[in-house]
């Protein structure tokens, strides 16, 4: 049975398998007393049947000829799964008592997320030492294909080839970690600084200040963020059109301010809950200064929910910056950045059907886009686990 | 009943007020630009007389609040002004003869219809799909299906739209040519042709939006499963499918409708990147192109159109959740 057989045939097989499992399971379950088989619903049987057929199809595609991308995807998923598991086991057996305990309550996805975030951080910080060439260095051979094989239009000096104007793609991918992730991180920090200080201020002082700030935030939040950012970026480019550095700086400010509205909402709500507590009242009656109240009374107690929010906001900021850069209005050249790289390299996708070098060439834009996706997925895995732990959801 | 009407009326009033404030923000933001419209139109080498003629003609010599209300009244009548790129000011070479204006409304109207078409196709796929997967995930919660659904939706929520878009192009346009990777639809096409060309952008948006809607559907249903009346239904011996579809789902509908409306609002912004990837002739692409060439009137109008759509969908979400709350709808 080949996977090329028609869709109808396979659907019929799925339904037949499900029915066989349902009725057969009843008979066997009644006879042997296995409740799981006896009480299986039709939809459940359909699910198992579908799972088996999908696994068979996947396996025959994997072991068959061609389908390079499918094989890579399978290797990727299995590889990440194993890496995450190994890291989780490592964390459970090595380290202090506290970290061991932490790793014991952690699912594989969260362990993988932490490992990936650490890797990104290391690559971003040591990009100057890891990258073989500079990010703006231009070589005389432009458009070298990846693979490093001179017979296939590549060069052993440039493992992933060079781009349209002859810059080493591998180096630019590595520097992208520094620029894209670094800029997103700085922007999120700035957004948190603005949002938290105003939010706690509004919670502590209240009254007219709270009303004014809250109404301004409501208004800013009623315009879709990416749209508003694009409008403000138009103005920024009109002011500093020729100075690329200023445009990047302005983008950081714009996104930080737009994103601080969400942080403001949360930190104000968290602050409001703390302000009504007795220990805060006592500190106020002692005659403590406003800065003491905010930094020593509210901040330590608001740390946990704000940390999870930091992860989520970082993802949003990172994706917004990547989208802006992809649209050509974000981080400006010559800084290497993943969003811009995806746009510049996107036409290579059409090379996919070519033999030998095709798949690797076609995956160049996907590497840059995948680098963005992988980091946000990693952060989301960790945040998902933190929120789950904080909410105390068990079952 | 009076009570509900009052709450909704208040909410609608607030929506109109928000829209008004947003229009002020957009107008002021554009007026922060250096130089003015007339100078920008004619360039640096224009004679002062020509600049003055256009300023007078476009009403730029009036004070800012008059200009704002003129603009607002124009917008109410779908007159968004004149596009820089499409304006033909050759007749202004000194004499103020009749000029051939390319209006912004002429540019936006057909593209807005295209964007609505894309959003409609996406919603038609995404809403039933996410409801189905959400109900199934709630039914088989903590099973292998639920875990796979959880991980894959978390992945697709976190991926940037262009990553999903290029993976789909690679799989469905380059390796297996099922759908075209260029979605250059135009008026001459019939419905099926249009649908085929719109499929890839719609699928991209579906993947991004479905994940969120599915997770919320699952959460809303699971939230309800702990309540006593579900316990009762379970004790009566009803099947899990019946409990979820006939007992839990109707009560979970309020948050689900809310999430659907919010996600449609999200579609409005997600559409920008996707339209650029697939060269889809919608408002999003026009917006990005105008931002690049600094065609201010078009940017202003697109911004307003997006904001209006976003605000009204949010408003719709609020009104629907008020209406679907039996405690508000049927006061004692």
pLDDT in tens, A159-177: 777 777 778 888 888 888 8
B62 and B116 together in one domain = no
For residue A334, cis peptide bond before it (omega within 30 degrees of 0): yes
Q: Is the CB of residue A335 less than 8 Å from the CB of residue A179?
A: yes
Q: Is the CB of residue B173 less than 8 Å from the CB of residue A362?
A: no
Percent of chain A past pLDDT 90, that is, above it, reads 8
Does B329 or A107 have the greater pLDDT score?
Answer: A107
Q: Is A36 exposed, middle or buried (0-12, 13-18, 19+ CB in 10 A)?
A: exposed
B118 and B97 together in one domain = no
Question: Which residue in B has a C-alpha nearest to residue A369's C-alpha?
Answer: B163
**A185 pLDDT band (50/70/90 cuts)?**
very high
Written as six digits, the tokens of A299 are 């901040």
Position A358 scores a pLDDT of 75
The answer to whether position B163 is within a domain reads yes
Position B93 scores a pLDDT of 40
Does B23 or B59 have the greater pLDDT score?
Answer: B23
Q: B10 to chain A nearest CA, in Å?
A: 16
Q: Is A293 exposed, middle or buried (0-12, 13-18, 19+ CB in 10 A)?
A: buried
Chain B neighbors of A72, CB-CB under 8 A: none
B160 and B273 together in one domain = yes
Question: Which residue in B has a C-alpha nearest to residue A42's C-alpha?
Answer: B241
Token pair 């008592």: residue:
A97
Asked whether residue B58 carries a pLDDT value surpassing 70, the answer given is: no
Question: Which residue in A has a C-alpha nearest to residue B283's C-alpha?
Answer: A227
B46 and B123 together in one domain = no
Asked whether residue B41 carries a pLDDT value surpassing 70, the answer given is: no
Question: Where do the structural domains in chain A lie, given as residue ranges?
Answer: 1-65, 169-390
Q: B331 to chain A nearest CA, in Å?
A: 30
**B19 pLDDT band (50/70/90 cuts)?**
confident
Q: Is the CB of residue A298 less than 8 Å from the CB of residue A200?
A: yes
Asked whether residue A233 carries a pLDDT value surpassing 50, the answer given is: yes
CATH of domain A169-390: 1.10.3720.10
Beta bridge partners of B82: B103
Q: A122 to chain B nearest CA, in Å?
A: 22
Chain A neighbors of B140, CB-CB under 8 A: 44, 47
Q: A353 to chain B nearest CA, in Å?
A: 6
Q: Is A96 helix (H, G, I), strand (E, B) or coil?
A: coil
**Domain final residue, candidates B67, B102, B137:** B102
Least confident span in A50-64, A175-189, B53-67 = B53-67
Position B329 scores a pLDDT of 67
Does the distance separating the beta carbons of B145 and A43 come in below 8 Å? no
First to last CA, chain A: 42
Asked whether residue B88 carries a pLDDT value surpassing 70, the answer given is: no
C-alpha to C-alpha distance for A301 and A200, rounded to whole angstroms: 12
Average pLDDT, chain A: 82
Distances (CA, A) of B270 to B204, B209, B266: 10, 9, 6
Written as six digits, the tokens of A314 are 């970082």
Does the distance separating the beta carbons of A238 and B307 come in below 8 Å? no
C-alpha to C-alpha distance for B287 and A245, rounded to whole angstroms: 24
Least confident span in A211-215, A315-319, B40-44, B66-70 = B40-44
The answer to whether position B228 is within a domain reads yes
Written as six digits, the tokens of B301 are 């109008």
Beta bridge partners of A162: A168
Q: Is the CB of residue A188 less than 8 Å from the CB of residue A278?
A: no
Average pLDDT, chain B: 79
Question: Which residue in A has a C-alpha nearest to residue B157's C-alpha?
Answer: A377
Residues 6+ apart with CB under 8 A from A125: A178
Does the distance separating the beta carbons of A352 and B303 come in below 8 Å? no
Does A315 or A362 have the greater pLDDT score?
Answer: A315
**A336 pLDDT band (50/70/90 cuts)?**
confident
Q: A292 to chain B nearest CA, in Å?
A: 36
Position A96 scores a pLDDT of 82
Distances (CA, A) of B7 to A40, A309, A380, B91: 47, 32, 37, 54
The answer to whether position B78 is within a domain reads yes
Asked whether residue A324 carries a pLDDT value surpassing 80, the answer given is: yes
Residues 6+ apart with CB under 8 A from A49: A14, A15, A17, A18, A21
Asked whether residue B324 carries a pLDDT value surpassing 60, the answer given is: yes
Residues 6+ apart with CB under 8 A from A373: B155, B158, B159, B160, B163
Asked whether residue B94 carries a pLDDT value surpassing 60, the answer given is: no
The answer to whether position B303 is within a domain reads no
Average pLDDT over residues A141-152: 70
Position B95 scores a pLDDT of 38
Q: A83 to chain B nearest CA, in Å?
A: 16
Least confident span in A236-250, A311-325, A381-395, B112-126 = A381-395
Distances (CA, A) of A135 to A162, A168, A328, A362, B125: 11, 8, 18, 22, 43
**B97 pLDDT band (50/70/90 cuts)?**
very low
B55 and B127 together in one domain = no
Least confident span in A101-110, A150-159, B111-120, B302-311 = A150-159
Chain A neighbors of B302, CB-CB under 8 A: 227
Average pLDDT over residues B178-182: 81
Distances (CA, A) of B192 to A94, B121, B183: 60, 12, 13
The answer to whether position B72 is within a domain reads yes
C-alpha to C-alpha distance for B29 and B68, rounded to whole angstroms: 12
Does B250 or A265 have the greater pLDDT score?
Answer: A265
The answer to whether position B324 is within a domain reads no
Within 13 Å and on the Cβ side, how many CA atoms surround B211?
A: 20
Position A190 scores a pLDDT of 94
**B1 pLDDT band (50/70/90 cuts)?**
low
pLDDT in tens, A74-132: 888 888 888 888 888 888 888 788 888 878 878 888 888 889 999 999 988 888 888 77
Q: Is the CB of residue A204 less than 8 Å from the CB of residue A271?
A: yes
**A260 pLDDT band (50/70/90 cuts)?**
very high
Provide the CATH number for the domain around residue B229: 1.10.3720.10
Average pLDDT over residues A262-289: 87
Chain B neighbors of A395, CB-CB under 8 A: 142
**B40 pLDDT band (50/70/90 cuts)?**
low
Written as six digits, the tokens of A247 are 């445009």
Chain B neighbors of A349, CB-CB under 8 A: 166, 169-170, 174
**Domain final residue, candidates B78, B102, B126:** B102
Which of A223, A323, A346 has its CB closest to that of B273? Answer: A323
What's the pTM value of the predicted model, to 2 decimals? Answer: 0.83
Average pLDDT over residues B226-232: 87
Residues 6+ apart with CB under 8 A from B78: B105
Position B96 scores a pLDDT of 38
Q: A235 to chain B nearest CA, in Å?
A: 6
Percent of chain B past pLDDT 90, that is, above it, reads 1
Q: Is the CB of residue A255 less than 8 Å from the CB of residue A320?
A: yes
Token pair 């994103």: residue:
A259
Q: Is the CB of residue A68 less than 8 Å from the CB of residue A359?
A: yes
pLDDT in tens, B197-221: 888 899 999 988 888 888 888 888 8
Question: Which residue in B has a C-alpha nearest to residue A358's C-alpha?
Answer: B175
Chain B neighbors of A373, CB-CB under 8 A: 155, 158-160, 163
The domain in which residue B149 lies consists of: 108-292
Residue A139 DSSP class: -
Count of A–B CB contacts within 8 Å?
A: 153
Position B308 scores a pLDDT of 87
Chain A neighbors of B163, CB-CB under 8 A: 342, 366, 369-370, 372-373
The ipTM estimated for the assembled molecules is: 0.81
Which residue, among B210, B85, B267, has the nearest Cα to A227 in the 3D structure? B267
Q: Is A164 helix (H, G, I), strand (E, B) or coil?
A: coil
**A189 pLDDT band (50/70/90 cuts)?**
very high
Among B35, B144, B162, pick the best mutation site for testing chain A contact (most A Cβ within 10 A): B162
Average pLDDT over residues B152-158: 81
How many CB atoms sit inside 10 A of residue B1's CB? Answer: 8
Position A191 scores a pLDDT of 93
Chain B neighbors of A55, CB-CB under 8 A: none
Which of A227, A238, A380 has its CB closest to that of B158? Answer: A380
Q: B181 to chain A nearest CA, in Å?
A: 10
Which of A219, A233, A362 has its CB closest to that of B291? Answer: A233
Which of A234-238, B125-129, B311-315: highest mean pLDDT?
Answer: B125-129
Q: Is A205 helix (H, G, I), strand (E, B) or coil?
A: helix
| Residue ranges of E strands in chain A | none
Question: Which residue in B has a C-alpha nearest to residue A351's C-alpha?
Answer: B174
C-alpha to C-alpha distance for B230 and B234, rounded to whole angstroms: 6
Position B99 scores a pLDDT of 42
Does the distance separating the beta carbons of B175 and A43 come in below 8 Å? no
Which residue, among A105, A103, A77, A84, has the nearest Cα to A92 in the 3D structure? A103
Token pair 């998923």: residue:
A77
Asked whether residue B98 carries a pLDDT value surpassing 50, the answer given is: no
B197 and B59 together in one domain = no
The answer to whether position B97 is within a domain reads yes
Angle, CA B132 vertex, CA B127 and CA B135 arms, to 5°:
120
Written as six digits, the tokens of B129 are 């799909």
Average pLDDT over residues A364-385: 87
Which residue, among B86, B80, B110, has the nearest Cα to B301 in the 3D structure? B80
| Region of residue B159 (phi > 0: left; psi between -120 and 50: alpha; otherwise: beta) | beta
Q: Is the CB of residue A227 less than 8 Å from the CB of residue B272?
A: yes
Does the distance separating the beta carbons of A379 and B269 come in below 8 Å? no
C-alpha to C-alpha distance for A357 and A353, rounded to whole angstroms: 9
Distances (CA, A) of B204 to A353, B132, B164, B209, B271: 22, 19, 6, 9, 10
Does the distance separating the beta carbons of B142 and A342 come in below 8 Å? no
B98 and B228 together in one domain = no
C-alpha to C-alpha distance for A47 and A70, rounded to whole angstroms: 23
Does the distance separating the beta carbons of A329 and B151 come in below 8 Å? no
B40 and B22 together in one domain = yes
Q: Is the CB of residue B71 less than 8 Å from the CB of residue B58?
A: no
Q: Is B88 helix (H, G, I), strand (E, B) or coil?
A: strand
B183 and B241 together in one domain = yes
B128 and B197 together in one domain = yes
Among B27, B39, B170, pick the best mutation site for testing chain A contact (most A Cβ within 10 A): B170
Which of B18, B162, B314 has its CB closest to that of A342? Answer: B162
**B31 pLDDT band (50/70/90 cuts)?**
confident
Position B100 scores a pLDDT of 43
Residue B33 DSSP class: S
Does the distance separating the beta carbons of B296 and A234 come in below 8 Å? yes
Average pLDDT over residues A310-325: 88
Does the distance separating the beta carbons of A231 and B272 come in below 8 Å? no
Question: Which residue in B has a C-alpha nearest to residue A50's C-alpha?
Answer: B145
Does the distance separating the beta carbons of B145 and A219 come in below 8 Å? no
Phi, psi angle pair for A158, to nearest 5°? -125, 95
pLDDT in tens, A3-44: 455 778 888 888 888 888 888 887 887 777 777 777 777 777
User: Number of structural domains, chain B?
Assistant: 2
Asked whether residue A137 carries a pLDDT value surpassing 50, the answer given is: yes
The answer to whether position B302 is within a domain reads no
**B59 pLDDT band (50/70/90 cuts)?**
low
Does the distance separating the beta carbons of B139 and A322 come in below 8 Å? no
| Residue ranges of E strands in B250-299 | none
Among A84, A222, A382, pick the best mutation site for testing chain B contact (most B Cβ within 10 A): A222
Residues 6+ apart with CB under 8 A from A50: A14, A18
Question: Which residue in B has a C-alpha nearest to residue A227's C-alpha?
Answer: B303
C-alpha to C-alpha distance for A290 and A295, rounded to whole angstroms: 9
How many CB atoms sit inside 10 A of residue A261's CB? Answer: 21
Which of A319, A369, A380 has its CB closest to that of B166? Answer: A369
Percent of chain A past pLDDT 70, that is, above it, reads 94
Phi, psi angle pair for B188, to nearest 5°? -70, -15
B98 and B112 together in one domain = no
Which of B155, B170, B307 has its CB closest to that of A349? Answer: B170
Chain B neighbors of A348, CB-CB under 8 A: none
Which residue, among B122, B145, B119, B121, has the nearest Cα to B134 in the 3D structure? B145
Distances (CA, A) of A337 to A241, A333, A341, A368, B15: 19, 8, 6, 9, 39
Distances (CA, A) of A49 to A32, A42, A56, B147: 22, 10, 11, 18
Does the distance separating the beta carbons of B166 and A365 come in below 8 Å? yes
Which of A293-307, A333-347, B23-37, B117-131: highest mean pLDDT?
Answer: B117-131
B39 and B123 together in one domain = no
């Amino acid at each position: 049975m080949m996977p090329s057989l028609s869709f109808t045939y396979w659907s019929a097989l799925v339904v037949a398998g499900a029915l066989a499992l349902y009725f057969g399971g009843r008979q066997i379950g009644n006879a042997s007393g296995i409740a799981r088989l006896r009480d299986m619903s039709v939809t459940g049987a359909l699910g198992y049947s579908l799972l088996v057929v999908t696994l068979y199809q996947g396996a025959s595609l994997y072991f068959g000829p061609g389908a390079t991308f499918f094989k890579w995807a399978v290797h990727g998923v299995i590889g990440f799964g194993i890496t995450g598991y190994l890291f989780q086991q490592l964390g459970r057996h090595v380290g202090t008592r506290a970290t061991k305990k932490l790793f014991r309550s952690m699912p594989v996805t969260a362990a993988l997320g932490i490992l990936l975030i650490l890797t990104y951080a290391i690559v971003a910080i040591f990009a100057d030492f890891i990258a073989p060439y500079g990010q703006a260095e231009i070589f005389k051979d432009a458009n070298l294909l990846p693979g490093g094989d001179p017979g296939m239009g590549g060069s052993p000096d440039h493992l992933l080839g060079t781009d349209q104007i002859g810059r080493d793609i591998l180096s630019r991918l590595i520097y992208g970690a520094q620029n894209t992730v670094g800029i997103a991180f700085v922007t999120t920090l700035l957004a948190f600084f603005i949002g938290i200080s105003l939010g706690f201020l509004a919670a502590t002082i209240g009254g007219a200040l709270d009303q004014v700030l809250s109404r301004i935030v409501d208004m800013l939040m009623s315009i879709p963020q990416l749209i508003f950012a694009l409008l403000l970026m138009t103005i920024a480019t009109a002011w500093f059109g020729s100075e690329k550095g200023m445009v990047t700086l302005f983008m950081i400010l714009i996104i930080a301010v737009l994103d601080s509205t969400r942080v403001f909402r949360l930190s104000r709500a968290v602050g409001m809950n703390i302000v009504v507590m007795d220990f805060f009242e006592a500190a106020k009656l002692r005659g403590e200064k406003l800065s003491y109240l905010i930094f020593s009374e509210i901040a330590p107690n608001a740390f946990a929910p704000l940390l999870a929010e930091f992860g989520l906001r970082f993802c949003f900021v990172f994706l917004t910056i990547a989208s802006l850069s992809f649209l050509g209005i974000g981080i400006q050249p010559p800084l290497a950045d993943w969003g811009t790289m995806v746009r510049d390299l996107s036409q290579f996708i059409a090379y996919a059907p070519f033999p030998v070098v095709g798949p690797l060439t076609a995956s160049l834009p996907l590497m840059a886009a995948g680098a963005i996706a992988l980091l946000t997925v990693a952060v989301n895995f960790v945040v998902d686990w933190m929120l789950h732990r904080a909410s105390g959801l068990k079952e | 009943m009076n009570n509900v009407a009052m709450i909704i009326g208040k909410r609608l009033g607030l929506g109109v007020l928000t829209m008004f404030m947003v229009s002020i923000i957009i107008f002021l933001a554009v007026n922060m630009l250096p130089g003015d419209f007339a100078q920008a139109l004619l360039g640096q080498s224009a004679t002062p007389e020509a600049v003055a003629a256009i300023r007078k003609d476009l009403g730029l010599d009036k004070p800012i609040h008059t200009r704002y209300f003129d603009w607002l009244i124009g917008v109410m009548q779908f007159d968004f002004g004149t596009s820089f790129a499409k304006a033909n000011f050759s007749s202004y070479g000194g004499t103020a003869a009749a000029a051939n204006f390319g209006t912004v409304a002429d540019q936006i109207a057909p593209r807005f219809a295209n964007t609505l078409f894309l959003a409609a196709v996406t919603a038609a796929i995404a809403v039933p799909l996410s409801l189905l997967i959400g109900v199934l995930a709630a039914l088989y919660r903590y099973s292998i299906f639920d875990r796979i659904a959880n991980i894959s939706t978390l992945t697709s929520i976190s991926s940037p739209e262009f990553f999903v878009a290029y993976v789909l192009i690679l799989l469905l346009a380059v390796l297996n040519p099922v759908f075209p990777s260029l979605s250059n639809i135009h008026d001459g096409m019939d419905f099926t042709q249009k649908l085929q060309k719109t499929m890839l952008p719609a699928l991209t948006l579906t993947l991004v939006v479905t994940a969120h809607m599915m997770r919320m559907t699952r959460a809303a249903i699971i939230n309800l499963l702990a309540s006593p009346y579900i316990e009762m239904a379970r004790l009566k011996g009803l099947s899990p499918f019946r409990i979820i579809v006939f007992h839990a789902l109707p009560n979970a509908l309020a948050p689900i409708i809310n999430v659907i409306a919010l996600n449609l609002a999200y579609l409005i912004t997600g559409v920008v990147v996707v339209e650029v990837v697939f060269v889809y002739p919608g408002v999003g692409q026009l917006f990005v192109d105008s931002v690049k060439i600094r065609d201010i009137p078009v940017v202003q109008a697109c911004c307003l159109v997006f904001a209006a759509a976003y605000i009204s969908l949010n408003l719709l979400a609020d009104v629907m959740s008020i209406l679907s709350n039996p405690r508000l709808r049927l006061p004692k």
